[in-house]
Amino acid sequence: MDMSIFTRDDLKDISFRKITPEKVINQIERFKKGMPFTRVVKPCTVNDGITHFDDADVERYAEIFSTAQKSGRCTKFVPASGAASRMFKLLLGAYADLESKGSADDGDKKLASFISELGQYAFYNELKDKMHDEGIDLYDCINSGQVKTILEFLLFEKGLDLSNLPKGLIPFHKYPDGSRTPFHKYPDGSRTPFEEHLVEALNYVRDENGRISVHFTVAPQHEDKIKEHINNVIPRYERAGDEFIITYSCQKPSTDTIAVDPQDNPFRDEDGALLFRPGGHGALIENLSDLAGDIIFIKNIDNITTDRNKGLTFKYKKALGGYLVSLQEKIFSYLKTLKEDSVNDQFIEDMFKFLRTRLSVIPEQKISGGTAEEKKQYLIDMLNRPLRVCGMVENTGAPGGGPFWVKHTGGGVSIQIVESSQIDLEKPDQSEILQSATHFNPVDLVCGVKDCDGNPFDLNRYIDHDAGFISVKSKNGRELKAMELPGLWNGSMAFWNTVFVEVPAGTFSPVKTIFDLMNDDHRM
């Protein structure tokens, strides 16, 4: 490795970030080689990589899960560092047009629709009060078409500053006075996504002693504001005997990746300093590993719904958790036998059948011709891994990753979550497989991260480092190449044992733009 490319100041900067020079060199080499495409064999479908639960299955696995929940094994992990700016992209564009041209392009009528429906949004009353404090009547602004003034108070610092907040602090849901639903045991008014995740945690994480463990990953610049908000709202949701155990972490500087110029040399700014960029959500695998949990539910901050629709979510969360527990028990039993006892050929064959039918792992051909001891060691290695059960919804055209059968370098095949960017779309067969996918990944995961001896896995050992992503960006008018680490639920978990289960579309209610809050999933 040629360390001469680094100056003394470079090495100080690298050390400050708790990165090694060797790691930076490896990243530069990856830029030079490029990221290999994932070879998909076929999409996962129901009964071919995706398990379907009937009503009896859902009830049975939910009952199995209740024991694990009561015993305090569960934690909820919520990636919550995303900014809300993308939610308001159209409104920010409209404001810029009003500022520069005095008019906005509302040809698609979205802006006009937003203003006409403003009273139905959960932040309406707060916006009205903020404007009133400045001597401005929101109702008059709506009626007289003063859109620019409304957007100014909605989006920027003189008002609610929603476009600069983390998404989890945006009031999402409005609970009118007098509304009552099966899960409505809390005060009326508006709720943020952070609050809705607390409500969810109460229903499938709370143990028999009333402890509710939730972990949020947050951006450093928003950490204090988020903690203040959560500390203020927790008393609304804690019932007698309850105790929320809330922990936080930030993406580590050590997971930043170096940027390079178009010739794959380290990119340097105007002062000659190296440029590092955040490594993407895949960096959170270290936060997840540091948590050293047991059963961990992972769900994005914006994928929440109102109390009226939560019943389906709770039912399937518990069923997924119970399925994970039942698989774990089977795996742990097999591992104990493999490690402690002599096993016969029939037992070995049963293990391989379990791999194929329950974990969707088809070993490379050479394994079948190995000795009994080689097969035994292979089984121990394959079974002694973190386990995840992933909910999959039917594909309705939403962009993003999905479940596929994937061919590995050694010749084996397994099921993986694959993003479209990982697939070589210039190859007709690969493009056709992507287009024929029947299901979509909604990031609805239950993870078992302890081994059969009760020790937490080091999750960094199970990452496919070739599953990252390289993109072209610019800084101050200069082109650069940036690298994202393998995604949290695809490349970072590539060497976990994985199970896909079909879940109803009603369990998936993301908010990508402000207009999504007018969907039925987000109304009482």
pTM of the model: 0.94
Q: Mention every residue, 6+ apart, whose C-beta is less than 8 A from residue 138.
A: 118, 124, 127, 128, 131, 132, 150
Q: How confident is the model at residue 509 (pLDDT cuts 50, 70, 90)?
A: very high
Phi, then psi, of 450 in degrees rounded to 5: -115, 150
Q: Using alpha carbons, list the distances in angstroms from residue 396 to 124, 153, 244, 506, 513.
A: 31, 36, 36, 12, 17
Q: pLDDT above 90 covers what percent of the chain? A: 85
- Taking the C-alpha atoms of residue 353 and residue 286, their distance in angstroms, rounded to an integer, is 33
Mean pLDDT across 249-256: 96
Mean pLDDT across 301-322: 96
Pick the closest to residue 247 from 203, 296, 180 (CA basis). Answer: 296
Asked if the model's pLDDT at residue 51 lies above 90, the reply is: yes
Residue 185 confidence (pLDDT): 47
The per-residue pLDDT of the chain, averaged, comes to 93
Angle (deg, nearest 10), helices 89-101 and 147-155: 130
Q: Using alpha carbons, list the distances in angstroms from residue 367 to 319, 331, 360.
A: 34, 20, 16
Could you tell me the two tokens for 113? Answer: 């629709």
Residue 179 confidence (pLDDT): 47
Asked if the model's pLDDT at residue 181 lies above 70, the reply is: no
Could you give the residue ranges of the DSSP H alpha helices within 117-186? Answer: 124-133, 138-144, 147-155
Q: Mention every residue, 6+ apart, whose C-beta is less than 8 A from residue 344.
A: none
- Taking the C-alpha atoms of residue 400 and residue 120, their distance in angstroms, rounded to an integer, is 30
Residue 341 confidence (pLDDT): 76
| Burial class of residue 91, CB neighbours in 10 A (0-12, 13-18, 19+) | buried
| Better-predicted residue by pLDDT, 239 or 155 | 155
Residue 4 confidence (pLDDT): 85
Q: How confident is the model at residue 178 (pLDDT cuts 50, 70, 90)?
A: very low
Q: How confident is the model at residue 2 (pLDDT cuts 50, 70, 90)?
A: confident
Residue 411 confidence (pLDDT): 84
Asked if the model's pLDDT at residue 105 lies above 80, the reply is: no
Asked if the model's pLDDT at residue 523 lies above 80, the reply is: yes
pLDDT digits 0-9 by tens, 85-100: 889 999 999 999 888 8
Partners of 35 in the β-ladder: none
